[in-house]
Chains A and B, each alone.
Chain A
Amino acid sequence: MSGETNPDTRAEQTGLTDAEIVLGVSAAFSGPSRGLGIELYRGANSYFEHVNRAGGLGGRKVVLKTYDDGYQPNPAVTNTMTLVLEDQVFALFGYVGTPTVTRVLPMLKKFQERKAYLFFPFTGAQPQREPPYGDFAFNLRASYRQETAGLVDNFVSIGNKRIAVFYQADAYGRSGWAGVRLAMSRHGLEMVGEATYRRGAMFSGSMRRQVEILKQSNPSAVICIGSYAACAAFLRDAVDLGLEVPIANLSFVGSENLLKLVTEGRDDSQRYTRLLVNSQVVPSYEDTSIPAVKQYRELMDRYDPQPPSQLLKEDYTPFSYSFVSLEGFLNAKLMVEILRRLGDRPDRNKLEEAIFTIRNFDLGISERVSFGPDRRQGLQQVYYTVVESGRFVTLESWEDRFAS
């Protein structure tokens, strides 16, 4: 008899003991985008902690095996190999970023016999939503295409048709750029200008050249596809150089971190935030009329989850609540539901089957979640937020806020 393990048996056995279900995480816990990985982890852990303290799933605790990739593709690939081959986790969960996830996807295809699925990455890019890698990932959040289309449609609707793009020079930026381009082409428009920055840019760096480039195109709105440090620097320099047009950011930016950087230590912070609008893929964490938001706030208050101490290399002060941690919370809530549907003896071979049973599932927000063979993204709704009194609130009227 061969000594090799049957792939199906191997898939069934990994990441599972009588005491634990282990999920593997590779995310940014260091570097200028660490706020995203940390907040996503905190939000998810608040719910897992809640479930574990209530006895877990069939007596098993849900445990996160975490690695830091610093929002860089190569460490993300290495971490994934470790998680799949050495740690043999039950599933991959809560990855952060497009440049990281797009490089990991081919590896998931390579390991397809191990059924190493990626659940709910914090990215709205297309590669994990469409062939050839869409079969290996499940998404909860709306896509960048939906976010950028929403922003473009709303800007165009109020007459701001000269849209320029400021974006990160990598797969994430290109994904958002492509979304804007596609949305504008539907209106028979083209973007009027573009400027880029390198991934890993700090808030202390200058974005003046980028602002100057965009100013030359005389835009009536700018859509930023970046992370909070760079986008905050761009916003600061844009206002300082007189680029007084609405500046939009996607959900990935990490709104609270951006706001903190832009406003901290400023008396005139309103000047920097009055034309800011951020799209979100989860509802406002201020709206406690939403059951999931209420539960999220309760669990965050109760457990005050901290980032994994062994991965923390730099100081970070967590937020009480944030859009990113709320997304992490919703990810965890849906993950637990999927694991619950696997029964007392979870089997990785039945993961896909289990998630396809999620139909009109009430996650506790207004939108219901459904999955299927042709539907690998649970939520479709995009929300828009602006800054009022130093915090993000839901945008009520584009016309009133931004019409020129």
Chain B
Amino acid sequence: MKIQKLFQKTLVGIFFLFAVISLSTSALCIYTVDTHLSAEYESNSRGIAKTIADSSVDILLNRDLSALQSLIDQFIEIQGISYIYITNEDGEFLAHTFVPGIPTEIAQSDHSSRATMERHLPGMGDFVEVSSPILAGVAGAVHIGMDTGLIALKIQRAVGQQVYLISSIFIIGVFAAIWLVRLAAKPIDSVIAYAARLARERNKDTSDEKLLARDDEVGQLARLFLYFSMVMDFDKARGKPPGGQV
């Protein structure tokens, strides 16, 4: 019974330990994935924006805007890219991928900024927008919006997988702990039973050779119990109170 209580405390300890591990690694995972993915998406988007901007010069100067639309339509298929729009030097939209229309927030924003900006578009989600100038900005700019929801989804997936892994390890660990504790408790149970038998059946030959032969703590305890039993028997025979000077 005492062993079970001890084990319960150990189990609670293990649970808290795993909870701490789980929370701390999840937090680290969120931070790492978010930072790396955001940086990677931004870097890729900047690269794509620059590619489109470089390709757009000839189209803007010499060709029909349908060729420009055809160009951006090919890039919108890349995962993570949610929208692309191209503005001229006056901020007029020349091509875009918005359906059913250009969001008011984007239509009314300043298109001359080249800084990375975060956008919340009602009904569409949250985005990080990067820009690249066309012909050093004198012919306009390419703007690309990345869906941060996709990053959140990837983080969610990574954290979920991690929690799943830790939970699996935790469950396996609990079963392993139960088995190990039972393994360890078996000789202790034997020594307790042996002590009880010594107390109950005094002056009889109650020695358990197998138990007494063990060279671990359990064997030492068994031998100690036998010794105390013999001392008590000896004191009793000499008329001394039990526990007196040996």
Contacts and interface: CB of A to CB of B under 8 A. Distances in A.
- Do A and B come from the same complex? yes
Interface of A: 73, 98-99, 102-103, 125-127, 130-131, 169-175, 177-178, 194-198, 209-210, 213
A64 B70 CA distance: 28
B62 interface: yes
Contacts of A171: 66-67, 69-70, 73
A178 B99 contact: no
Given A99-B70, A103-B70, A170-B69, A175 B100 contact: no
Nearest to A131: B62
A73 B62 CA distance: 23
Contacts of A103: 70
Contacts of A170: 69-70, 73
Given A99-B73, A127-B63, A131-B62, A174 B68 contact: yes
B112 interface: no
The interface size bin for chain B is 10 to 19
A172 B99 contact: no
B97 interface: yes
B31 to A, nearest CB: 37
Contacts of B95: 174
B99 A173 contact: no
Contacts of A210: 100-101
B98 interface: yes
B215 interface: no
B199 interface: no
A389 B97 CA distance: 39
Given A98-B66, A175-B66, 4 more contacts: A99-B70, A170-B70, A178-B64, A196-B98
A284 to B, nearest CB: 28
Interface in B59-99: 62-70, 73, 95, 97-99
Among all A-B residue pairs, the 5 with the closest Cβ atoms? A126-B64, A174-B69, A175-B66, A171-B70, A178-B65
Contacts of B99: 169, 196-198
A127 B66 contact: yes
Contacts of B101: 194-196, 209-210, 213
Interface of B: 62-70, 73, 95, 97-102
Nearest to A212: B100
Contacts of B100: 195-197, 209-210, 213
A172 B73 CA distance: 12
A329 B189 CA distance: 99
19 contacts: A73-B73, A99-B73, A102-B70, A126-B63, A126-B66, A127-B66, A127-B67, A127-B70, A130-B63, A174-B95, A175-B64, A194-B102, A196-B98, A196-B99, A196-B100, A196-B101, A197-B99, A209-B100, A210-B100
A301 B65 CA distance: 41
Contacts of B64: 125-127, 130, 175, 178
B100 to A, nearest CB: 5
B71 to A, nearest CB: 9
B121 to A, nearest CB: 14
A73 B63 CA distance: 20
A280 B70 CA distance: 25
A125 B66 contact: yes
Nearest to A125: B66
B65 A174 contact: yes
A170 B100 CA distance: 13
A195 B98 CA distance: 9
A177 B64 CA distance: 11
Contacts of B70: 99, 102-103, 127, 170-171, 174
A350 B150 CA distance: 54
A131 B67 CA distance: 11
B97 to A, nearest CB: 6
B84 to A, nearest CB: 11
A195 B93 CA distance: 13
A177 B63 contact: no
A195 B96 CA distance: 11
Nearest to A196: B99
B241 to A, nearest CB: 99
Given A170-B73, A171-B73, A102 B66 contact: yes
A231 B98 CA distance: 18
A198 B101 CA distance: 11
A139 B170 CA distance: 71
A169 B63 CA distance: 19
A98 B100 CA distance: 20
Contacts of B69: 170-171, 173-175
A393 B101 CA distance: 33
Nearest to A103: B70
A172 B65 CA distance: 10
Contact of B65 (A73, A131, A177, A213): A177
A227 B102 CA distance: 21
Contacts of A99: 70, 73
A178 B65 CA distance: 6
Nearest to B93: A194
Contacts of A194: 101-102
